[in-house]
Structure 1
Amino acid sequence: MELTVQGQTVYAHTGGQPFDPAKPAIVLIHGAGMDHTVWNLQTRYLAHHGRAVLAVDLPGHGRSAGAPLAGVEALADWGRDLLDAAGAPRAALAGHSMGALVALETAARHPDRVEALALLGVAEKMPVHPDLLAAAIGDDPQAIELVTGWGLGPRGHVGGNPAPGLALVPTSRRLMRRANPGVLGVDLAACNAYARGADAAAAVTCPALFLLGALDRMTPAKAGRALAARVKDSEVVVLPGVGHMVMVEAPDATVDTLAAFMNAR
C-alpha cells in the first residue's frame, strides 16, 4: 500500500489484507537502518486476526521515498501525519529500537491518536558509541557488522532463523546493506541524540507493553524495565535467550504476546 505523507510516497505492508480504517489499527515501526520486512510474521498474523495493519517503511527506508528524518521528534510528528493519510483516527503503535522511541514520542506528543503501545528493545536513552556512529555516518561496512553482531543474541549467531535454510546473521546483513547511503548514520544519530525518554514515558496515557530480550546487549532488559516503571499503565514481558532483535529472533513469541496484549484492550 502506498500513501502520501508530508508530500512523499510512503510504503506500508498491510499483511495481505486491504487496510480498513474501520477496524482496530496497528502501526509497526522498524528500527535503525531497517525496513518493514522485520515485522513480516507479525504483520500477516495481525492482519488476518481482525487488525488493520500498516508495517511502514520510514522516510528514506525500504520502498518509501524522501530522505530519512533527522530526529525522533520529527518522526513522531510524521507518524501522526501517517495516520491522517491512512484515514485512521487512532491506532496502536508497535516499535522496535529506534521505532520504539518513535512510538513512545508519538504517544506523548499526540495522545489522542494512540490507543496502545508495544515497545520492543527499548530504553530511556540509546547512546551510540562514537566509533560506531562515525562508521555509520561514513557508510563504512564495519558499521553493519557491529550492529548485526551486537543486535542478535546467541541463537542468532548459530543460525537462529525458524525458517529452514535461513540464518539470521546473513539475513540481517543483507537487509541493512540494501539501505540507501547515509540512512544508518542518520538513524543512529537520532537515537544518540534523543533525550526525552523519561519525560515521554511519564506523559503516556495509554496502556503500554514492554517486550524485552533477556540477552539484549544494546538495550538491556533492566533498562527497559526502568523505562516501563515511568509509564502509568505498563506491563513487561522478558523473553529468555533473546537479544535485541526480538521480533526476528522470537517471531512466534512476539506475535503471541502482541496479540494477547492487543486483544485485552
Structure 2
Amino acid sequence: MSTPFFTDVGSPGQPVVVFLHGVGGGRHGWAPQQAHLSVLGWRSLAWDMPGYGASAMLTPYDFEHLAMAMWQMMDAAHIRQAVLVGHSMGAMVALQAWTQMPERITAMVLAASSPAFGNSDGDFQKQFLAQRLAPLEAGKTMGDIADKLIPSMAIPGGDAAKLHQAHQSMSAVPQDTYRAALHALVQFEQRAALPTITIPVLCLAAEHDRTAPPAVMERMTQKISGARYACLAGAGHLLHYEQPEAFNVELEKFLKDVKP
C-alpha cells in the first residue's frame, strides 16, 4: 500500500487536524480550513483519498483499507495523534479509524454524514448505485456528472462561485475511483461503534442537506456520549464549500476545547 498524497500546513510540534474529503472531493477542498487553522496554531493534513488526485488506487477498496491508508499517511508525516475532520464519506473513514486505533484520535468532527449506509443487497443501496452510475454507463464524463450533481447537493439558488472548487474536484475524480468509492459507500456500517466513542465529537449538519439530513445527524449525536451537535444555516451537503466561514467558526469553537 503506497502512502496517500497530502497537503501539510503548519509545523512539527503543533497539534494536528487531519481533513478527510467525501466521494467527489479532494485535498484542495479543505484549503480555507487549513489556512484558518494555521493562524490558530494548528498543523493540518488534507489527503487525496486513495485513487484521488495524486494518490494511488487501493485494492480492495473498502473502509478498512482506507482507514489503514490514513494511518500510513499519518506515520509518513510523523504524527502520532490527531483530530479527524471528515466530510460525508470522509467522516465514515474517521469512524472506521476509531474502530482500529482509537488511541491515535483525540477528537472528531463528523460533517454531513451518517454512521451507516446499508449493505449492497438492499433495494435502496441498489437504486442509489444504479442512479449514480447510470451517467457513466451512458458514456457521460465526470465533468458531466459534476454539472448535474453538485448543484443538486448544494442549497437551491446558492452561490455558484463557492462551488467552483467542488465542481473541479468531482470532475477530476477518475471513473474507476468513483465506481469503487460508491460500491464501498453502500456497504458502510458502523452504528455499533457510536456508543464506544469516548473522545470529544462534533456532529456538524447543514440546514438544507438532503443527503445527510439534520435529523439523521441529530440521532447520531444522541448515540455518542457527550457529543455536540451544530447545524449550519444556508448550506446543503457541501457545507464547507458553501459556507466556509461558518464552517470555520464551528470548527474553531470545537478545537478551542480540545486543544492540548
Distance 1:54 1:252, change over 3 A: same
Quick check: 1:47 aligned with 2:46? no
Distance 1:136 1:112, change over 3 A: farther
Moved more, 179-188 or 220-229: 179-188
Task: Look up the match of 1:195.
Answer: 189
Q: Equivalents in 2 of 1:38, 1:187: separation in Å?
A: 18
**Partner AA of 1:260 in structure 2:** K
Q: Which runs of 5+ in 2 are unaligned?
A: 119-124
Distance 1:152 1:176, change over 3 A: same
Deviation at 1:219, TM superposition (A): 0.7
Cα displacement string for residues 216-250 of structure 1 (whole angstroms, at most 9, x for unaligned residues): 01110100111111111200000112100110111
Indicate the SS of the match to 2:175: coil
**Number of residue pairs matched?**
247
Deviation at 1:143, TM superposition (A): 4.0
Moved more, 183-192 or 122-131: 122-131
Indicate the SS of the match to 1:182: helix
Indicate the SS of the match to 1:217: coil
Moved more, 201-210 or 109-118: 201-210
Quick check: 1:93 aligned with 2:84? yes
**Partner AA of 2:30 in structure 1:** W
Indicate the SS of the match to 1:53: strand
Quick check: 1:232 aligned with 2:231? no
Q: 1:35 aligns with which of 26, 40, 46?
A: 26
Q: Equivalents in 2 of 1:177, 1:134: separation in Å?
A: 14
TM-score between both structures, scaled by the size of structure 1: 0.85
Task: Look up the match of 1:217.
Answer: 210
Distance 1:180 1:203, change over 3 A: same
Task: Look up the match of 2:134.
Answer: 135
Distance 1:28 1:171, change over 3 A: closer
Indicate the SS of the match to 2:186: helix
Q: Equivalents in 1 of 2:214, 2:60: separation in Å?
A: 28
Q: Equivalents in 2 of 1:200, 1:193: separation in Å?
A: 15
**Partner AA of 2:44 in structure 1:** V
Indicate the SS of the match to 1:193: coil
Q: Counterparts in 2 of 1:1-265, with a 5 A limit?
A: 6=1, 8-15=2-9, 17=10, 19-20=11-12, 22-67=13-58, 70-126=61-117, 129-135=128-134, 138=137, 140-141=140-141, 143-156=145-158, 159-160=159-160, 166-168=161-163, 170-196=164-190, 198-265=191-258
TM-score between both structures, scaled by the size of structure 2: 0.87
Moved more, 239-248 or 179-188: 179-188
Indicate the SS of the match to 1:195: coil
Q: Equivalents in 2 of 1:175, 1:98: separation in Å?
A: 15
Percent of residue pairs bearing the same amino acid type: 26
Deviation at 1:73, TM superposition (A): 2.1
Q: Which runs of 5+ in 1 are unaligned?
A: 1-5, 161-165
Q: Equivalents in 1 of 2:60, 2:31: separation in Å?
A: 23
Distance 1:246 1:220, change over 3 A: same
Deviation at 1:167, TM superposition (A): 4.8
Q: Equivalents in 2 of 1:66, 1:55: separation in Å?
A: 17
Moved more, 143-152 or 223-232: 143-152
Distance 1:108 1:150, change over 3 A: farther
Q: Equivalents in 1 of 2:91, 2:59: separation in Å?
A: 16
**Partner AA of 1:231 in structure 2:** I
Cα displacement string for residues 82-137 of structure 1 (whole angstroms, at most 9, x for unaligned residues): 22222111100000000010011112321100000001111123365132243376
Tell whether the 8 Å contact from 2:3 to 2:73 is kept in structure 1 after alignment.
no
